[in-house]
């Protein structure tokens, strides 16, 4: 199966994927602390979780990931999934791995699966539209940082 739950030994690959995604999006100076990320994902009180995808013919190779956390909708009274990062390395795209990752998320909840997308990303817009996902009209995301 090309999608699996990340394990502690995947921390280096997870951080590398996040940094590669940042470069892909134009942020070239992101450098993550592997020990800190390890604690957030695999410590005594994990704050997020990751699914890893591998090419079917190369289960030893990490092709991409979905970085997630649980959320909760009070109006639906159901838990859902917040997808913070979805990234498939360019050389592994167009083989259905992104779809496999999102299908695996959809199977984990009867609630919402939500994410943000950088404006102007036409390829991602087309991909999400093919899945049947739609932008949420009338809502603006806010961010309050320290």
Chain segment 22-52, per-residue pLDDT in tens? 999 899 999 999 999 999 999 999 999 999 9
Domains belonging to the chain, first-starting first, are 3-131 (3.40.630.30)
Structure tokens at 119: 């404006």
- Entry pTM: 0.90
Regions of the chain short of the pLDDT cut 70: 1
Q: What is the pLDDT of residue 145?
A: 78
Q: What is the DSSP string of 53-81?
A: E--TT-TTS--EEEEEEEEEETTTTEEEE
Q: What is the DSSP string of 18-43?
A: HHHHHHHTT-------HHHHHHHHHS
Rounded Cα–Cα distance for residues 49 and 35 (Å):
15
What sign does the dihedral 122-128-133-136 (CA atoms) show? Answer: negative
Task: Please state the φ and ψ torsions of residue 16, each to the nearest 5 degrees.
Answer: -65, -40
Q: What is the pLDDT of residue 59?
A: 86
Rounded Cα–Cα distance for residues 120 and 143 (Å):
20
Q: What is the pLDDT of residue 1?
A: 60
Task: Please state the φ and ψ torsions of residue 37, each to the nearest 5 degrees.
Answer: -60, -40
Active site residues: 128
Contact 83, 105 (CB under 8 A): yes
Contact 17, 8 (CB under 8 A): no
């Amino acid at each position: 199966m090309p999608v699996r739950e990340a394990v502690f030994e995947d921390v280096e690959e997870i951080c590398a994927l996040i940094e590669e995604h940042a470069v892909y999006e134009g942020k070239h100076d992101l450098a993550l602390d592997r020990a800190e990320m390890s604690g957030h994902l695999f410590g005594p009180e994990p704050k997020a979780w990751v699914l890893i995808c591998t090419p079917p013919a190369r289960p030893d190779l990490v092709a991409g990931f979905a970085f997630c956390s649980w959320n909760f909708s009070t109006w639906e009274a159901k838990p859902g999934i917040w997808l913070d990062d979805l990234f498939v390395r360019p050389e592994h795209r167009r083989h259905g791995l992104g779809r496999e990752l999102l299908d695996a998320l959809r199977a984990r909840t009867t609630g919402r699966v939500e994410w943000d997308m950088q404006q102007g990303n036409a390829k991602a817009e087309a991909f999400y539209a093919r899945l049947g996902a739609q932008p949420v009209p009338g809502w603006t995301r806010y961010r309050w940082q320290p």
